[in-house]
Structure 1
Amino acid sequence: MKWFSVLIAGLVLIMSGCSSMGGKDKEWAPPPMAVPLQPSIQQEVQIARASQLLLRSDITEEQRAELHLQRGVYYDSLGLRELARYDFNQSLSINPAQAEIFNLLGVYFTQIGQYDAAYEAFDSTLELDPGNQYAERNRAIALYYGDRIDLALDDMTKHYEDDPSDPFSAMWLYIIEMKSDQQDALAKLEQRYAKRDQQWGWALVAMMLNKISNDEVILDIASGAKDNVMLAQRLTETYFYMAKRYQLAGEYNEAVSLYKLSLSFNVYEYVEHRYAFLELGRIFSEVRAERQEQLKEESEKE
């Protein structure tokens, strides 16, 4: 597509005009962007089709459960969380043995900070499907956000050991380990990175380790993205983990800006998009608590 080629060329020009930020990192103005994803005709047609079929009285209960699941997945992909959750619950009321739905609900509960409900949902997924890798990782992340670090570390360590070639497992294990021992976490991530394969996600690990600059990561994405959808997906992931790196370093202004960029592409089904909202709320709470502590100390000095 010509417009996509122009977009990629524009990214290269933007990156070539970057100004130094300090160290190996650089910033760009404006930041590299993809066209935000919009509802597709297929999504709208499938939602309308499922809605029409659900009005029929001659479908079986099994078909009704499947239609609620399908419509819920489409709603979820459009960011319509409450409508999706309604459909998922309707599907479960007919057929409770659906591991996929419990996993989706677990991610939803994590996103809104209802951690106990998230743990129960992921436990249900793993009871129904013990080998579900997504639920294993998602439960570890929920435990991390719920400040149950020891349990999160156990879950994520097992998940990483099941597939050491997965860069995202390596990165989340590092993020969780950072809660306990930052230097040890960094050393372990270096060891995992040394065993990397050719998956593009290892570039994000290299960025987390400050082995490559922000510019280099973005250029790698720009050169490898086949279309705007892939570009939006990879930028959603990249800006999230870039923001997490700044957040771990205590650089909240940069982290907030990058989390907002991660949200801007409308890649609703990616956990990085979902958890960017959660991270923004946590940063706000941390900054507010620090500010209140400062005001308290200032008042005591007066």
Structure 2
Amino acid sequence: MLSKLSRALKRPAKMLALLAVLATVTGCAMQPASPAASWLTPEPLAVSYRTELAIARLTEILYRAELTDEQSARLYYDRGVMYDSVGLRSLARLDFTRAIRLKPDLADAYNFIGIHYTVSGYFEQAFEAFDSALELAPDHDFAYLNRGIALYYADRPDLALVDFEQFYQTKPNDPYRVLWRYLGATALSATDARAVLKQQLTLLNTEDWATNLVRFYAGMITETQLLNSVAEQLTGPQLLAERLCEVYFYLAKWHDAEQRPEQALRYYKMVLATNVFEFVEHRYARVEIARLQGETLTDDAFAEP
């Protein structure tokens, strides 16, 4: 859902073999698909050479070039985004904080800091960060999404739904916006949420693979059919990992709602195995795991450096 860094395609022969296996998969529609199946096991994405090189170049410029405060802030922010995309959250947070100190009106940096507070369980600090982002950029729709998610995990469903609705209205033909609005609405009324989901489904592009996720929640396709759809029009391991990251997260949420926490946990762990760190689904899979296991979300990395 968030911005993607380009990566070189790897092992095309392996992808052909993968698709051949996919074509033979069958199963009972009413039973959860087995996560042990070879085609369902994600290959963790490796950090690309381009990302490593970009981080090195940004670091060299920051340390050697004569820059204005605004230029430095932008470079710290850019490097923070790079760190975040490879899962180096503490380094990313430090850069976002530096960027804000140099340029206090950098809304995107506040949005990222809010995300990091949310995944670490510091909800009040997350709300402050998202509020700052929206005060600076009222049309920052992803700040609405992320504030809605923070409110959702902080057990404030009525407020969360307001933000999810705002996020949805900006682009009603986006399947992911439909899904997050639905997830927020189910905390208030599962029946009403499902009815609205079916209405919103009619506005989605049937050729968009992500529409299958909404169709599954609407009861139009089975879990097996949804998993099989991952193979549609694949272009390489990058897209495969991204789709698996998404499909496992939303299947985990569904199993959790159906009172199958063990299956939900298995799927959340498969989300993490993709290494698609910058996707919203990967970010919050750890939050879901902690919630299911009754753990407290805290992160000592948020102690002031």
TM-score computed with the length of structure 1 as normaliser:
0.88
1:114 is displaced (CA, Å) by 0.9
What percent of counterpart residues are identical?
A: 37
- Partner residue, 1:175: 183
1:223 is displaced (CA, Å) by 2.2
1:156 to 152, 157, 164: 164
Does the alignment pair 1:46 with 2:46? no
Q: Could you give the per-residue CA deviations for residues 249-277 of structure 1, whole angstroms, max 9, x where no partner exists? A: 11101100000111101011111001000
Query: Quick check: 2:182–2:193 contact (8 Å CA) kept in 1?
Result: yes
Q: Unmatched 5+ residue regions in structure 1? A: 287-302
Does the alignment pair 1:126 with 2:123? no
What is the SS of the residue equivalent to 1:90? helix
Query: Quick check: 1:27–1:215 contact (8 Å CA) kept in 2?
Result: no
Does the alignment pair 1:117 with 2:125? yes
Q: Could you give the per-residue CA deviations for residues 118-170 of structure 1, whole angstroms, max 9, x where no partner exists? A: 11111111111111111111111111111111111112122222322111111
Amino acid corresponding to residue 230 of structure 2 in structure 1: I
Q: What CA distance in whole angstroms lies between the structure 1 residues aligned with 2:270 and 2:16?
A: 18
Does the alignment pair 1:263 with 2:272? yes
Query: Quick check: 1:24–1:213 contact (8 Å CA) kept in 2?
Result: no
1:27 to 27, 34, 46: 34
Q: Unmatched 5+ residue regions in structure 2? A: 1-8, 296-305
Does the alignment pair 1:275 with 2:287? no
- Partner residue, 1:6: 14
Q: Which 4+ stretches in 1 moved above 6 angstroms?
A: none
1:116 is displaced (CA, Å) by 0.9
1:188-267 pair list within 5 angstroms: 188-198=196-206, 199-267=208-276
Q: What CA distance in whole angstroms lies between the structure 2 residues aligned with 1:153 and 1:84?
A: 29
1:5 is displaced (CA, Å) by 4.8
Q: Could you give the per-residue CA deviations for residues 197-249 of structure 1, whole angstroms, max 9, x where no partner exists? A: 23321110112233212332233222222121111111101110011110111
Paired residue total: 285
Q: What CA distance in whole angstroms lies between the structure 2 residues aligned with 1:204 and 1:45?
A: 35
In terms of fraction of residues, the more helix-rich structure is 1
1:17 is displaced (CA, Å) by 4.0
Q: Could you give the per-residue CA deviations for residues 87-131 of structure 1, whole angstroms, max 9, x where no partner exists? A: 111111111111111111111111111111111111111111111
Query: Quick check: 2:144–2:164 contact (8 Å CA) kept in 1?
Result: yes
Using CA pairs under 8 Å that are at least 6 residues apart, name the structure with larger relative contact order, 1 or 2.
2
Query: Quick check: 2:96–2:109 contact (8 Å CA) kept in 1?
Result: yes
Change in Cα spacing, 1:70 to 1:162, as seen in structure 2 (3 Å) is: closer
TM-score computed with the length of structure 2 as normaliser:
0.87
Q: What CA distance in whole angstroms lies between the structure 2 residues aligned with 1:34 and 1:3?
A: 14
Change in Cα spacing, 1:250 to 1:210, as seen in structure 2 (3 Å) is: same
Change in Cα spacing, 1:46 to 1:157, as seen in structure 2 (3 Å) is: same
